[in-house]
Amino acid sequence: MSTIAPETKFKKFVIIDPKVTRRVKIIDKLANFIIKSGGILVILVVALIFLFIGKETIPLWLPGTAEPLVKTEIKQFAAPHTPLIMGVDEYQTFAYFVEGESAQVDFYDLQKGQMINAQPFTKLAGKQISCAYRTPAFDYLFLGTSDGHVLLAKVSFTPDLSTGSRIVTPTLKEYGMITIPGTKAPIQKVFGRVSSEGEMVYAAVTAEQKVYFGKMTLDAVELMEQNQGLLEGEAASTDRESQSGAAPSATAVDYAFDGKINQIAIDRFSEKLFVVTDKNILYQFYLENDLTQPYATYDSFVNESGVNRKITAMEFLIGDVTVVFGFNDGTTEGWFGVRAKEGDWMRKIQPIHKFESIGGSITTIVPSARNKAFIAGSDNGHVALNFSTSDRRLLDLEISGPVALAAYAPKLTQILALSGTGSFESFDIHVPYPEISLKTLFGKVWYEGYDKPEFSWQSSGGTDDFEPKFSLTPLFVGTLKGAFYGLLFAIPIAVFGALYTSQFMHPSIKTYVKPTIEIMAALPSVVIGFLAGLWLAPLLENKLVMIFLFSIFIPVGTVIAALLWNKIPIKIKMNIPPGVDLVAIIVTTLIAAFLSYKVGVFMDFAYFGGDIRQWIFSAIGEQVEQRNCIVIGLAMGFAVIPIIFTISEDAFSNVPKSFTSASYAMGASPWQTATRVILPTASPGVFSAVMIGFGRAVGETMIVLMATGNTPIMSFSPFNGMRTLSANIAVEIPEAPVGETHYRVLFVAAMLLFILTFTVNTFAEVIRQRLREKYKAV
Amino acid sequence: MNPDSNKKIIQTGSLPVGKFFGRGEHWLWLTGACLSVALIMIVGLLFVIVSNGAGFFWPKDLTEFTLKDGESTQKVMGILMAHDTLREEIPEGKGIRLIPETQFRVGNRDIYAADFVWYRDENISGIMKPKLGVALERMEYGNFYGFMESFKINDDVIATGGQAWERLLKELPLVNRKRKAAEAIKEHEIGEISHEIKEATIQLNKLKRNTHPTAEQVSKIEEYNQFMVAKNEEFQTLKDKAQKILDEADDYSGVFKTADGREKVIPLLNIVEAWQPNNMSVFEKCIFYVRQVWGFIFDDPRESNQEGGVFPAIFGTVVMTVLMSLAVTPFGVLAAFYLREYASQGPFVRAVRIAINNLAGVPSIVFGVFGLGFFVYFVGGTMDQLFFSDYLPTPTFGTGGILWASLTLALLTVPVVIVATEESIAAVPRGAREGSLALGASKFQTICRVVLPASVPGILTGIILSMARGAGEVAPLMITGVVKLAPELPVDLTFPFFHLDRKFMHLGFHIFDVGFQSPNVEASKPMVYTTTLLLILIIIGLNIVAIRLRDKIRKKYQTGAFA
């Protein structure tokens, strides 16, 4: 072999202007560069799509972080002068503390690290605060006094931006005193709720171990104070108030509790009341049902090692459905009511969310005002941030000394903790996606108000205390369901149709059939979806019998027609132009379809009482929706048939001619050749066609969006609809706020779709190319 | 087997039943039945769309009949739409009876609540087709069906009966022209001024933000203030001008009567089109049909897209598709040339080719998500911060728009162009290429002068196919910039003419929106069918061109290869 390149040979003979050659060379190099970089760029973009979508989902999986911010000693708060309450404003400029003995609020400047002032409660002059409760949102304070009253107050912070920098001024508002009847002794425990509509609910425990509760508007509390002024020295009588028609300010729970009450919680509707005594008995009341008897009592709180734990802290999470208990072994648990049977409105509570021990004994639980997170503090100095829905421990922090109080900044950006030794510490926290874990995305989660753990997708609700449900499983199941019913219909039609076209059809007819199928492929899915949803679904609503008969009548009719065709004498047959047999088949199909319609209507009346949907409902208890899987199957099939058809037809046609010729030469019939030679040889191609069709069906958006009811349900029944990943993205992503959980979860859905289709398609493509290589040589 | 039977088979050509099934002859027909189902589906779908979509503008006859409603009877006039049977349960579980019923479009949505009503056939009697029945297409409340009583100018009756109709037909085009003139003023001139005012306000706010303005800035503020005053005056004058035109036209009105005798005064300004369907010849109907189709294509939508035309949607689709092909062509072709001519063929290129092929199979919604996250929020958001910070927090490019939608679709369709281009490059005979190289041409020269010209039809096929795909795709557009009603077109006469940040309307989305998100689904159905027909005509047209083109190339090179 010669090593001399051909062009060097030519150079000897051809005179070339060197300038031209140089220019040509430069242009050639330049073009080389541009085309190469352009080509590589396009390929990079492909990778970029995947990487970008992936990148957007990464933050979901990052763990929470906490930065220590303030660490100081506040000597005056060392035990036994531990304050009753700690809070912080949303700008994180002040922490405030309620002191019991002096009945005042201390404001602590977090930036400067010093106490700035103390404001006494004017209405509590000369009295002491015996117990206190702070609502998680808006800093309402319920203060039990040493002489048997409850004071409702509020700490608010007003920002002033007029000077350019923000100056926050704290103010203290005292609404009014509620007199707890029949006691002058210190209130033992108090709990309260204030709704955004200005409705207040409280519960208080007297020294006599009696529980009182009340519900009134904030205005009424203020007004009552004025009345109280008039009735100075006289105990407010609940009798008189109820006579005058106003709601009583204090209603007694007429029950003798076993032991000394140390925990109490009431929900914002004053419906559910939980009481814990020092004998470790938990009482559950449905106040509207019975004021004298608990609905249920619980006294067993056995942990995994069989030890009965003691409840040391109790709180409601936002929404007042889940009650969180802190135990003396450092564990916390979220409990909520579960119906014993359908229709019950009273529910016994049971442990649903369990969190590992942080050691020591839980001293305080502080719920978040925005989501289902809560802080648990333990007497060994650990402060844990847990998230109820996802069972996630977001953070585990440590301070010096036993945790006495903890607080959550309103925008969930800081955690503050005060220890019994007066050590005060704060942390900047960053846990943006607490509700997401692999379990909440793909597993069963026991959501509030549900009877059992479920897969559920419900991304947004009307209220703040809504628990978002981000399980992708029902969407995934919906996607597979849609694809399944689509393929169920499409595979036989497309594969056999392709077999007929490639093997049994006259080539002159083929030139018409193939472009028709290509047109079918080109039809926008929005058109198919529209027709399926608005035309086909109402049309087929009552014709389930007909659909069923189709699958019997068309094959049977075709076989009969084929037998008849067989009887046509050869002399006539020879003169029949090609394509007439196809026309005959089409006509047969149409006749069979018409017959099944007629028989369907008849059978509908004869056997199903004229309403097949009602009949199915009473027979199997399944509601037949108008936009069901039969409609989806037909519509999706329509979209998928041309793809499967084209690729399988390709595979059948690529089977080497010599194979079929050999088969015919051995005396095989066309069908025998088709099933024993063509199909096995082309089967990888058919398989890849089906895979690619599956990929298309999985990603189809508009058809499912328009032709299903879009309800995310976990069901494979053909009589109802579904919601698919793709339709879900299309519906929800325009409304999802950028960068937040919902937005990123939808990116996870998109990535799932991408991975699923890309894998399936690559697999199919590789198989197809192998097949092509294999028979290239033959 | 005895030889006689074989002989018989050969003579008659028909097999005995046992042999027929044994040889699987019936399967041949069964596979044919599968194909025929697919063919019936596609033909049926096209038939449904054409029959529902094409007939919408044909002036159908008005039917008047007496409706029994309990004890009372009532005259009703409308257009017959459909027949159906209702299933009614006979009390005491005696089964079910079928009641034939008929759907009429009775119009007059402002008088009756619903304009599409089903009546039981048993309650209908005395069907006739009144010659003088009038149908009006109105700006509001849908169609009106009734009879013309008189024609009024300012409350004075000018003509009655047949003369009134004549007068109406004479005045209606004039009034319509005036309304259009007023609309044009509002849209273009007033729109331009309000745009200028908006710009000036932003500049002004920017200047005012300085706490210690320089003298130059103070004078600028003054300048802007004067400018604003002048523009506001101009704004008012134009508004008055438009109002005056409308006021003039508002004097004319027609008095109509519904079939059940209710009188209705309708100002001519509210009437788009008036016709007496029962009194028209076939030729007149044809002209009317063409006019209606024209209006459908070139008018703006009305009544939350349920009536009027689809011009903005057509325009939006075209602009988006053109932008998309401008973006997709160079990159697709570059990538194809790279893969075919420059990259060394090996496992890497094979993998890339598979990846590109598969990109075509990635769901379009995934591209939409990418477009939203990358183009809209990332690129657009960054652009807003760099170049349009004056407008923030109102996003300029940081929200869905036609540019982002086109780029998203370009990504979606790039595999189509790459595959088609590669195919056509591969079809260029080796001989042609080698000949060029042998004559001393460089690689690029060969590509430019030999390969590229030969593959142009193939590239065109790819572009046309990608346009067809792009024009029909809806899901990714829904999240990257399509809206149900765009106040302004993405290309217009206001500087800088191309407004790539604007949101736009799209035929495919129009179908989804009108069909599934409009308050009155029944009333909007004809509109959806017609839009669908238009869309598939465009797409099938593009596809047929592409298929033809491709066949031509194939034929050319099948022979060319051996020449």
- B245 Cβ under 8 Å from any chain A Cβ: no
Q: Between A492, A534, A641, which is nearest B525 by CB?
A: A534
**B494 CB within 8 Å of a chain A CB:** no
Average pLDDT over chain A reads: 85
Mean pLDDT of B378-403: 83
Chain B residues touching A39 at Cβ < 8 A: 334-335, 337-339, 342-343
Q: Would you state the pLDDT for residue A251?
A: 86
Tell me whether residues A757 and B363 touch, CB distance under 8 A.
Answer: yes
Please name every residue paired with B78 in a beta bridge, in sequence order, or none if there are none. Answer: B63
Question: Backbone phi, then psi, for B151, in 5-degree steps?
Answer: -120, 135
Buried b (16+ CB within 10 A) or exposed e, B337-370: bbbbbbbeeeeebeebbbbbbbbbbbbbbbbbbb
Three-class secondary structure of residue B205 per DSSP:
helix
Report the pLDDT value the prediction gives residue A231, as an integer from 0 to 100.
46
Domain CATH code at residue A315: 2.130.10.10
Rounded Cα–Cα distance for residues A48 and A57 (Å): 14
- Mean pLDDT for A367-390 is 90
Do A15 and A80 belong together in one domain? no
Are residues A736 and A599 part of one domain? Answer: no
- Distances in Å between the Cα of A14 and the Cα atoms of A7, B58, B432 are 10, 74, 21
pLDDT band at A593 (very low <50, low <70, confident <90, very high): very high
| CB–CB contact A526 B418 (8 Å) | no
> At which of A625, A649, A675 does a domain end?
A625
> Mean pLDDT over residues A609-626, rounded?
80
Q: How many Å apart are CA A258 and CA B402, to the nearest integer?
A: 71
Nearest by Cα to B301 from B532, B174, B484: B484
Report yes or no: B95 at the A interface, CB cutoff 8 Å: yes
Same domain as A609, residue A510? no
Q: Which among B547, B415, B462 is positioned nearest to A514, based on CA atoms?
A: B547
pLDDT the model gives residue A190 = 92
CA distance A677 to A684: 13
* A519 touches B: beta carbon within 8 Å: yes
Q: Could you tell me if residue A467 is inside a domain?
A: no
Helix residue ranges per DSSP H, A203-311:
218-230, 238-243
Inside any domain, residue A259: yes
Q: DSSP string covering B21-59, please? A: HHTTHHHHHHHHHHHHHHHHHHHHHHHHHHHHHHGGGS-
**Backbone phi and psi for residue A769, each to the nearest 5 degrees, phi listed first:** -70, -40
Start-to-end CA span in chain A (Å): 31
CB atoms within 10 A of CB A594: 11
Does B447 sit within 8 Å of A500, measured CB to CB?
no
Cβ separation of A43 and B24 shorter than 8 Å? Answer: no
Residue B191 near residue B499 (C-beta atoms within 8 A): no
Of A400, A419, A442, which closes a domain? Answer: A442
Between positions 330 and 369 of A, the ones with CB within 8 A of B are none
Q: Does A746 touch chain B (CB under 8 A)?
A: yes
Confidence of residue A23 (pLDDT cuts 50, 70, 90): confident
Regarding whether A78 and A46 lie in a shared domain, the answer is no
Mean pLDDT of chain B: 84
Chain B interface, mutation test: which of A50, A56, A527, most B Cβ atoms within 10 Å? A527
Report the alpha-carbon distance of residue A283 to residue A379 in Å, rounded. 25
Mean pLDDT, range B173-202, rounded to an integer: 83
- CA-nearest of A101, A222, A98, A225 to A170 is A98
Share of chain A above pLDDT 70, in %: 94
Q: Do residue B25 and residue A562 have CB atoms under 8 angstroms apart?
A: yes
CA distances from A586 to A497, B36, B499 (A): 12, 5, 52
Tell whether B547 lies on the interface with A, counting CB pairs under 8 A.
yes
Q: What is the pTM of this model?
A: 0.87
- Summarize pLDDT for B125-180 with one digit per residue, the tens: 888 888 888 888 888 888 889 888 888 888 888 888 788 888 888 888 888 888 88
A320 and A214 within one domain: yes
B340 touches chain A (CB under 8 A): no
C-alpha span between A387 and A407 (Å, rounded): 16
CB A87 within 8 A of CB A95: yes
Pair A77, A217 in one domain: yes
| Distance in angstroms (rounded) separating the CA atoms of residues B171 and B268 | 8
User: Exposed, middle or buried: residue A14 (CB in 10 Å: 0-12, 13-18, 19+)?
Assistant: exposed
CB A376 within 8 A of CB A359: no
Q: Is the pLDDT of residue A2 over 60?
A: no
Q: Chain B contact for A545, CB < 8 A?
A: no
Q: Which of A56, A496, A519 lies at the smallest CB-CB distance from B42?
A: A519
Strand partners, A115: A108
The pLDDT of residue A766: 85
Q: Do A527 and B87 touch (CB under 8 A)?
A: no
Please state, in angstroms and rounded to a whole number, the distance separating the CA atoms of residues A519 and B537: 11
Chain B residues with CB-CB distance to A35 below 8 A: 334, 337-338, 341-342
Say if residue B554's pLDDT is above 80: no
Residues linked to residue A656 through DSSP beta bridges, in sequence order: none
Q: Percent of chain A at pLDDT above 90?
A: 25
A61 vs B: CB within 8 A: no
Give residue-wise pLDDT tens across range A95-113. Answer: 899 988 888 898 988 888 8
- Same-domain check for residues A615 and A591: yes
Both A190 and A241 in a single domain? Answer: yes
Across the strands, what pairs with A204?
Answer: A190, A212
pLDDT higher than threshold 90 for residue A304: no
Read off the pLDDT band of B499 (50, 70, 90).
Answer: confident
Of all residues in chain B, the one with the smallest CA distance to A15 is B440
Residue of B nearest to A583 (CA): B36
CA angle, residues A404, A405, A411, in degrees to nearest 5: 160
pLDDT at residue B9, rounded to an integer: 61
Classify burial at A490, counting beta carbons within 10 Å of its beta carbon; exposed 0-12, middle 13-18, buried 19 or more.
buried
Nearest C-alpha in A relative to B521? A534
- Asked whether residue A456 is assigned to any structural domain, the reply reads no
d(CA A665, CA A658) in angstroms, rounded, equals 10
The whole-number pLDDT of residue A640 equals 93
Does residue A6 register a pLDDT over 70? no
Q: Give the pLDDT score at A4.
A: 47
* pLDDT tens by residue, A450-475: 888 888 888 887 777 788 888 899 99
A757 and A679 together in one domain:
yes
Give B396's DSSP letter: S
What angle (nearest 5°) sits at the alpha carbon of residue A657, between those of residues A653 and A661?
Answer: 130
In a domain, A453, yes or no: no
Residue A248 has pLDDT above 70, yes or no: no
> Among B369, B377, B442, whose Cβ lies nearest the Cβ of A750?
B369
Chain B interface mutation, best of A42, A501, A568, A690, highest count of B Cβ atoms under 10 Å: A42
Contacts of A565 in chain B (CB under 8 A): 29
* pLDDT surpasses 90 at A491: yes
Q: How far is CA B474 from CA A527, A709, B248, B477, in A?
A: 10, 19, 44, 5
- Indicate the residue among A442, A462, A486 that finishes a domain: A442
Contact B362 A527 (CB under 8 A): no
Q: What is the pLDDT of residue A233?
A: 40
Chain B residues within 8 A of A494 when measuring between CB atoms? 34, 38
* Domain ranges, residue A371: 65-442
Residue A29 forms part of a structural domain? yes
Residue for token digits 């379809």?
A: A593
For residue B244, pLDDT beyond 90: no
Q: Is A453 on the interface with B (CB under 8 A)?
A: no
Residue A53, domain member (yes or no): yes
C-alpha distance from A477 to closest chain B C-alpha (Å): 17
Q: What is the mean pLDDT of residues A201-209?
A: 89
What mean pLDDT comes out for the span B107-120?
83
- Count how many domains chain A has: 4
Residue A33 phi, psi (nearest 5): -65, -50
Q: Is A38 close to B445, i.e. CB distance below 8 A? A: no
Beta bridge partners of B255: B150, B265
Residues B92-106 have a mean pLDDT of 80
DSSP B498-552: B-TTS-B--HHHHHHHHHHHSS-HHHHHHHHHHHHHHHHHHHHHHHHHHHHHHHH
Instruction: Give the CA angle between residues B219, B223, B227 to the nearest 5°.
Output: 170
Please, which residues have CB within 8 angstroms of residue B69's CB and are 6 or more apart in sequence?
Answer: B123
**Minimum-distance CB partner of A46 among B33, B37, B355:** B355
Q: Which of A27, A46, A524 is nearest residue B535 as measured by Cβ atoms?
A: A524
Q: So what's the ipTM on this one?
A: 0.87
Is residue A447 assigned to a domain? Answer: no
| Nearest chain B Cα distance for residue A255, angstroms | 55
How sure is the predictor about A239, in pLDDT bands with cuts at 50, 70 and 90? Answer: very low
Q: Is a pLDDT exceeding 50 seen at residue A693?
A: yes
A611 shares its domain with A712: no
Clarify whether residues A50 and A103 are in a common domain. no
Q: CB distance B31–A32 less than 8 Å?
A: no
Looking at the domain assignment, is residue A199 inside a domain?
yes
Q: Cβ–Cβ of B444/A525 closer than 8 Å?
A: no
Mark yes or no for CB contact A24/B343 under 8 Å.
no
CATH of the domain at A503: 1.10.3720.10
Chain B residues near residue A573 by CB distance under 8 angstroms: 13
Q: Do A273 and A416 fall into the same domain? A: yes
Which residues of chain B have a CB within 8 Å of the CB of A760? 361
